[in-house]
Amino acid sequence: MTARFQRLLAAFVLALGFAAPAVRALPVTQVSAAFDVTCAIVVNALDCWGYNANGQVGDGTTTTRLTPHRISNTATGVSTSGFHTCAVLGNGAYCWGSNTDGQLGDGTINQVLSAQQVPALPFQSGVTAVATGDLHSCAIQNGGLYCWGANGYGQLGTGNTTASRVPVAVPGMASGVTSITAGRFHTCAVARGVLYCWGRNDSGELGLSTVSSSVNTPTAVPGMSGTSVVEAGGSFTCAVKAGGAVCWGFNGNGQLGIGTSNGSPWPVNVSGLASGVTHVAAGSSYHACSVTNGAASCWGYNNAGQLGNPAAGGGTQVPIAVSGLASGVIRIGAGGLHTCSAGLAGVHCWGDNATGQLGINGTAPSNVPLLVVNPRAWSPDVVASPATSKRSLKSSSVRSGSRFPIRARKFIAGAFDGVAS
Reading phi first (left if > 0) and then psi (alpha if -120 to 50, else beta), residue 66 is in alpha
Residue 43 has pLDDT above 90, yes or no: no
Query: Distance (Å, rounded) from C-alpha 361 to C-alpha 141?
Result: 37
Helix (H, G, I), strand (E, B) or coil at 280: strand
Q: C-alpha 72: how far from its chain's center?
A: 17
Q: Give the pTM.
A: 0.84
Planar angle of CA 347, 414, 419, nearest 5 degrees? 75
Given this model, what pLDDT does residue 96 score?
A: 98
Residues of the chain with CATH 2.130.10.30: 29-377
| Of the candidates 280, 296, 264, 288, the residue with the CA atom closest to the CA atom of residue 336 | 288
Task: Locate the DSSP E strands across 3-110.
Answer: 28-34, 37-42, 45-50, 65-72, 75-80, 84-89, 92-97
Please tell me which residue, 403 or 79, carries the higher pLDDT value: 79
For 166-225, write each residue's pLDDT tens digit: 999 999 999 999 999 999 999 999 999 999 999 999 999 999 999 999 999 999 999 999
SS3 for 372-390 is CCCCCCCCCCCCCCCCCCH
Given this model, what pLDDT does residue 26 score?
A: 55
- State what percent of residues in the chain have pLDDT above 90: 77
Phi and psi at 224, nearest 5°, equal -115, 20
Residue 137, H or E segment:
strand 136-141
Q: Which amino acid is at 397?
A: S
- In 10 A of CB 151, how many CB atoms? 25
- In 10 A of CB 387, how many CB atoms? 11
Average pLDDT over residues 73-79: 95
Query: Distance (Å, rounded) from C-alpha 300 to C-alpha 270?
Result: 12
Phi and psi at 15, nearest 5°, equal -65, -30
Q: How confident is the model at residue 373 (pLDDT cuts 50, 70, 90)?
A: confident
Query: Distance (Å, rounded) from C-alpha 101 to C-alpha 9?
Result: 57
Residue 349, H or E segment:
strand 346-351
Query: Distance (Å, rounded) from C-alpha 124 to C-alpha 167?
Result: 12
Please tell me which residue, 407 or 112, carries the higher pLDDT value: 112
Domain at 29-377: CATH code: 2.130.10.30
Query: Distance (Å, rounded) from C-alpha 277 to C-alpha 20?
Result: 31
| Of the candidates 177, 236, 170, the residue with the CA atom closest to the CA atom of residue 203 | 236
For 271-306, write each residue's pLDDT tens digit: 999 999 999 999 998 999 999 999 999 999 999 999
Residue 397 has pLDDT above 50, yes or no: no
